[in-house]
Chain A
Amino acid sequence: MATASEAPAAPSAGPGEPRHGLRIFLIWLPLALIADLLIVFVWGPHLPPGAMSTSARSQQVDFIVLGAMAAPVMLFVLTYFGYALIVWRHREGDDTDGPPIHGNTRIAATWIVTSSVIVLALAVYGTIELWLPAGAGAGEGNTPIWRPSGGAALQVQVIGQQWRWTYRYPQFGGFETTALVLPVGENIQFNVTSLDVIHSFWAYQLAVKADANPGINNVAYTKPLHTGAVQVRCAELCGLWHADMTTSGVVVSVAVFRAWASATETQLAALTRNLPPYALTYDANQIPQLGKAFTAPPPAGAGLSGAGGGYYGGQYPVQP
C-alpha cells in the first residue's frame, strides 16, 4: 500500500501549479478555428437545402452560422473534458482528496455572460433572418408581415388534395395543372390551400414549406436563383397515400416560363372554363349538386356509401 509520502502532490493554486486555464484555452483556440473554417468553407456550401433560392440560401447560411457558433462551445466542453481526464486523472497511490474548491466567480461570470451573448445574438440574428428574406420560405398566414421588395410577385396557387398537388396561375387566366414551373430571378408568391385535410407544401430545393389548410390561404415567398429541378413533398401525414404525395417541379428561364405559361393557358382553355373562378380558398359546400346527382336513385334505406349514396347528406357529418 502506498504511503502519503509516495503520492504526487495534489493540485493546488500554489505558485508551482501550471496555468490550466491558459493551457485549455491554447488547446481549444486552434481546434475552434479549424472547426469553424471547415464549417464555413468546406461543409457549409453542401448543407441542405442548398442555395437554389433566396430562402434556401438564407436557410443554408443560418445552418452555417449555427454550426460556427455551436462548434467552439462543443469543442470547449470536449477540450476541458479531455484535459481533466488526462491531467487530473487518478494516479496510482494517490489517495489524497482534491483541493477544497468552492466556486469561482470569474469562471461562472464568464460562462453566464458568454452564454447570454451567444443566445441573445442568435435571437436577434434569427429575427433578422426571418425579416430580410421575406419569411424565409415559411408560410406566413393570410396576411404576411414580411413581403419581398422589387415589384409584384408571380402568383402561384398551391392546392392540396388527397393525394396530389395541383397549381393555379391566376396571372395566366387561372389555369390549373399538375406541373409546377417557375421562372428564375422573379419573386414568387405561393398561395397555399387545401380542398380536404391538412397537408404541408414542401418544395425542398426552394426551402419553402407552408401548411395547406382547407379554407385558409397560407402565403409563402421565395425567389429562385438557379434553374433546375425541385422536389415537392407533403410534410403533413394526410392519409393512405401521404408518402406518395410527391411531385417534381422545375425552375426555368423567364423566357421559357413565359412560353410555357402561354402555351399551357391555351392548351387548358377548355378545362379552365370548368374551373371555379380563381379564389384564395375553395369551399366544398359551394360545389354544384353537392348532394349527388342520381342517374337512378338507389332503393330507400340502402345505406350506400358509394357514388349512389348521398354521403354529403344529413346522415354524414361534415367531418368524421
Chain B
Amino acid sequence: MSLPARIVTLIVAFLAVVAGGVFVVAHYLLAGPPVEDFTAGHSAGLPVNITMQTDAVTTVASVGDHPTWVSYFIKSPQTGAWIHTTLFKVPADTRVNVTILGYDGSTPIRNQVWGQVTGTIGRVAFYSGKPVRTVNGWNGPYLIQHTFTIPGIGLNVPVEAGPGTCMTAPCTNNQHSTTTFSFITPSQGGVYRWQCFIPCGLSFLYGNGGPMQTIGYMAGNMTVES
C-alpha cells in the first residue's frame, strides 16, 4: 500500500472511531425524555394543573423503544399533546392540581403502606370525585394500578386501576379511571425524584426491573424552580 493510501486509511479509521464515540454519547448517554415545563407563563399565586395518564403499553417512538412496557405520559401544558416522559418542572411554593387518567389494569400492592394517601392537601385523593385516604391494595373495594410517590416531600397517592386495558398509547378513549389530588410544591428549588412503588412492570419477586428502573416510564423527576 502506498504512503498516501495508508495515510488516508488511517484518517478514515480515526474518524470512524470518533464518529462511533459521538454516536454512543449522543444516542445512549445524552438521550432522555423531554422535560414538560409548567413554569413557563405561570403567574404567581395561581395553581398549576398537571394531567398524566398511565398506560399498559408504550406504543410510541420513545426512549428505549419498549412497546410492551408500562408507562406514565404527561400532557404538554403548551400543546396539549401527550408526551412520553416522567420529567416535569413546576414553580416553587405553588399548589399543583394533578389528574391521573388510569388506562392500566390493577396490580396487588406489595407493601400496603403505599395504600395510604400522604402529603396531599387535606391528606386526601379522589377517585372519580370520591375521597379516599387509605386504600386496601389487596382486597378492595378499590383496585390499584400504580402509585405516584415523591418521597422527598412525603407525597404518596395510590392510583386507581382503570376499567379496561388500553392497548394503544397514549390512550384517548373514555375507558379510564380518574384520580385527582393536590399538593404544595416546596418553597426551595431542587430536583425531587418520584416513582411508582408497586412493582408493576417487568418486576420479579426479588426486585424491580425494566420500566421500574427507567426514567421516562415508572420513575422520573420533579424539578422545582424557585
Q: Which residues of A contact B (CB under 8 A)?
A: 159, 161-164, 166, 176-178, 195-197, 214, 239-241, 244, 247, 268, 270-271, 274-276, 284-285, 287-290, 292-299, 302-309, 311-312, 316-320
Q: Is B55 an interface residue when CB atoms closer than 8 A count as contact? A: yes
Selected contact of A288 from candidates B55, B70, B138, CB within 8 Å: B138
A288 x B108 contact (CB < 8 A): yes
Interface centre among A197, A296, A307 (most CB of B within 10 A): A307
Residues of B within 8 A of A197 (CB): 206-207
Cα of A280 to Cα of B167 in the assembled complex, Å:
41
Distance in Å from the Cβ of A143 to the closest Cβ of chain B?
23
Given contacts A176-B113, A239-B213, A271-B116, contact A293 B165 (CB under 8 A): no
Residues of A within 8 A of B138 (CB): 274, 287-289
Cα of A195 to Cα of B110 in the assembled complex, Å:
8
Selected contact of B110 from candidates A161, A176, A302, CB within 8 Å: A161
Distance in Å from the Cβ of A161 to the closest Cβ of chain B?
6
A274 x B201 contact (CB < 8 A): no
Given contacts A289-B138, A311-B201, contact A295 B162 (CB under 8 A): yes
Cα of A178 to Cα of B150 in the assembled complex, Å:
13
Interface centre among A268, A270, A308, A316 (most CB of B within 10 A): A308
7 example contacts (A-B, Cβ-Cβ < 8 A) are as follows A163-B151, A197-B206, A214-B205, A244-B151, A287-B138, A304-B68, A318-B206
Residues of A within 8 A of B162 (CB): 295
B133 x A307 contact (CB < 8 A): no
B204 x A317 contact (CB < 8 A): yes
Given contacts A196-B206, A320-B204, contact A271 B108 (CB under 8 A): no
Q: Which 6 A-B pairs have the closest CB atoms?
A: A306-B70, A306-B56, A308-B105, A308-B165, A308-B56, A296-B164
Selected contact of A284 from candidates B57, B66, B205, B208, CB within 8 Å: B205
Distance in Å from the Cβ of A124 to the closest Cβ of chain B?
40
Cα of A116 to Cα of B162 in the assembled complex, Å:
71
Q: Which residues of B contact A (CB under 8 A)?
A: 54-57, 66, 68-71, 104-108, 110-113, 115-116, 133-134, 136-139, 143, 145-146, 151-152, 154, 161-165, 167, 193, 195, 197-215, 219
B143 x A293 contact (CB < 8 A): yes
Residues of B within 8 A of A307 (CB): 54, 56, 70, 104-107, 145-146, 161, 198, 200-201
A295 x B106 contact (CB < 8 A): yes
A274 x B204 contact (CB < 8 A): no
Residues of B within 8 A of A290 (CB): 108
Residues of A within 8 A of B143 (CB): 293, 295
B202 x A304 contact (CB < 8 A): no
A196 x B208 contact (CB < 8 A): yes
Cα of A239 to Cα of B199 in the assembled complex, Å:
13
Cα of A122 to Cα of B195 in the assembled complex, Å:
47
Given contacts A287-B138, A299-B167, contact A159 B56 (CB under 8 A): no
Q: For residue B137, which residue of chain A has the nearest CB? A: A274
Distance in Å from the Cβ of A276 to the closest Cβ of chain B?
7
Q: For residue A240, which residue of chain B has the nearest CB? A: B213
A271 x B105 contact (CB < 8 A): no
Residues of B within 8 A of A178 (CB): 113, 151, 154
Cα of A306 to Cα of B198 in the assembled complex, Å:
11
Distance in Å from the Cβ of B168 to the closest Cβ of chain A?
11
Cα of A288 to Cα of B110 in the assembled complex, Å:
10
Residues of B within 8 A of A319 (CB): 204-207
Selected contact of A316 from candidates B56, B111, B204, CB within 8 Å: B204
B195 x A241 contact (CB < 8 A): yes
Given contacts A298-B105, A305-B201, A307-B200, contact A195 B113 (CB under 8 A): no
Q: For residue B115, which residue of chain A has the nearest CB? A: A274
